[in-house]
Amino acid sequence: MEILRRIDKGYRLIEQAKDKSERLMNVESIKRLKHELDLILKEENAIRVQVDQARTGLLIKEKQLSDVDRQLLSILEKLYESEHQNSKILQELKKQETILKDKKINLEDEIMKEFYIIEKFSKELNLFKSKYNKVEKQYNSKKISQHEKVAYLEDKIKLMEKKIRKLRKSADPDLLRLYDKKRQTMKVVFTRAENGVCEICHMTLSTSLIEKVENCSEIIECDCCNRILYLEEIKDNDETL
């Protein structure tokens, strides 16, 4: 019976260690930093989309400006060739030249605006990058610290599992089978009989039942909750069994 209780204690310690490990990896500070990183990345990506759109617009306007320059050059050549010809043709060419020059000025203004927009967004991206790196450093530092604690717990779990395997080899096979069967359906297999009462279900235990528990010669179950009864806690300070 003592071996079963030590095995049970080992399983409970493993569960506690696993719960603690899970909590360590889900602490609020890590979740907050991760959320902050996601938000920064989301905003950064939105700015990158605007930068890409501005660059695309810039390329289109630069191509339009190049086309206007070619058209102006063609007009100038025609003006030179038509200098001593019909004044009507000259007027029409001059009109086209004026329109193209106005269009060129507008395109150059728009191109400058696109440059300013790209420069503005580029500065914002640098700020976001700096902010992201700062938060990421905090996040990684926190994760490393937590991972070290988790790694320590995982080592303790492995040690407990090793000790449990050793204890199971020395346990009575029939009692072990009964314990394993109960453990499949119960989170808590053992319950203390304190002052004649089951500590889990608070059922009052008969005197004869208490006496059987005192003898410790066999497994005695609570008549109400069917958990295995014991009187005293295991007297050792080894939290790893």
- Give Rg (Cα) of the chain: 41
Instruction: Provide the 3-class DSSP secondary structure of residue 221.
Output: strand
Q: 0.75 cut: is pTM over it?
A: no
Instruction: Provide the 3-class DSSP secondary structure of residue 197.
Output: strand
Residues in the chain predicted with pLDDT less than 70, given as ranges, are 82-86, 216-217, 233-241
Residue 84 is predicted with a pLDDT of 57
Q: What is the residue whose two structure tokens read 């029409």?
A: 92
Residue 160 is predicted with a pLDDT of 93
Contact at 8 Å (CB) between 171 and 7? yes
CA–CA separation, 40 and 20 (whole Å): 30
Measured CA angle at 164 (ends 163, 166), to 5 deg: 65
Residue 106 is predicted with a pLDDT of 95
Residue 238 is predicted with a pLDDT of 52
Output the DSSP codes for 42-91.
HHHHHHHHHHHHHHHHHHHHHHHHHHHHHHHHHHHHHHHHTTTS-HHHHH
Q: Which residues, including other chains, have CB under 8 Å from residue 65's CB and lie 6 or more apart?
A: 104, 107, 108, 111
Half-sphere exposure of 74 (CA within 13 A, CB side): 8
Burial (CB count <10 Å: 0-12, 13-18, 19+), residue 54: buried
Residue 231 is predicted with a pLDDT of 85
Other Cβ atoms less than 10 A from the Cβ of 230: the count is 21
| The two structure tokens encoding residue 54 | 């501005």
Residue 202 is predicted with a pLDDT of 92
Residue 241 is predicted with a pLDDT of 41
Q: What is the residue whose two structure tokens read 């608070």?
A: 202
Contact at 8 Å (CB) between 190 and 227? yes
Contact at 8 Å (CB) between 205 and 197? yes
